[in-house]
Amino acid sequence: QKEVEQDPGPLSVPEGAIVSLNCTYSNSAFQYFMWYRQYSRKGPELLMYTYSSGNKEDGRFTAQVDKSSKYISLFIRDSQPSDSATYLCAMSAGSGGGNKLTFGTGTQLKVEL
Amino acid sequence: DAGITQSPRHKVTETGTPVTLRCHQTENHRYMYWYRQDPGHGLRLIHYSYGVKDTDKGEVSDGYSVSRSKTEDFLLTLESATSSQTSVYFCAISDGTDTQYFGPGTRLTVL
């Protein structure tokens, strides 16, 4: 079983919809949680970064972490066609550049006009 | 792409040949990483570096070696390429926080 599980999708939604993307994990040592967005044939770009449990909002994006359930979410409000991409969750146990990230396999999102 | 370039961007090679991929950064970040990305597996760490001449293995390091002789350059070498190493390779950098910034990737095909 993988340390981080993520539904691969594809997830197709109409423009303007609220999108919920999720990851579950098994390693209770994970404390730092990230979401990356990856457009087709591009490198992943960091979207959100959170530490421990709680919510973090940035524009139309909200990241939510529930450590008790080992469950993280990314919500996208008022989704746009430009949000069509693959979303990767990532997490690590410690702080610092030497700490390794564990990635989910990514969820492919398509926002349709 | 946060001042990260990768070269070549595309390469086709034959089984058994050595291949070197280059990652170059202009951010002066201490940490550099090499990942491969495959369908169903996501991003998997091959090797990483925490300084000049300081490197360590990741989860899928067999068949790969790395070198870092300068802060800005991190080289990944496939000693004898195999078809199972056909993949997209990403370099990433970090300034010491948990966030990593990725390059544009190299698409490698081993025939």
pLDDT tens by residue, A25-47: 999 999 999 999 999 999 999 99
State the Cα–Cα distance between residues A91 and B89, nearest whole angstrom: 20
Tokens of residue B21, six digits: 């991929």
Spell out the residues 6+ positions from residue A82 whose beta carbon is closer than 8 angstroms to its own: A111
Which residue among B40, B41, B50 places its CB closest to the CB of A98? B50
Spell out the residues 6+ positions from residue A90 whose beta carbon is closer than 8 angstroms to its own: A4, A33, A34, A35, A36, A101, A102, A103, A104, B43
Looking at residue A48, its pLDDT comes to 94
From A9's Cα to the closest Cα of chain B, the distance in A is 12
| Statement: residue B26 has pLDDT above 70 | yes
B98 chain-A contacts, CB cut-off 8 A: 32, 34, 49, 92, 94-97, 99, 101
Contact yes or no for B94 and A97 at CB 8 A = yes
Are the C-beta atoms of residues B27 and B88 closer than 8 Å to each other? Answer: no
Neighbours of A52 (CB within 10 A): 10
A105 chain-B contacts, CB cut-off 8 A: 40-42
| Statement: residue A99 has pLDDT above 90 | no
Tokens of residue A2, six digits: 């993988």
pLDDT tens by residue, B30-88: 999 999 999 888 899 999 999 999 999 999 999 999 999 999 999 999 999 999 999 99
pLDDT classification of B1: cutoffs 50, 70, 90:
low
Spell out the residues 6+ positions from residue A67 whose beta carbon is closer than 8 angstroms to its own: A28, A52, A53
Contact yes or no for B98 and A98 at CB 8 A = no
Looking at residue A96, its pLDDT comes to 61
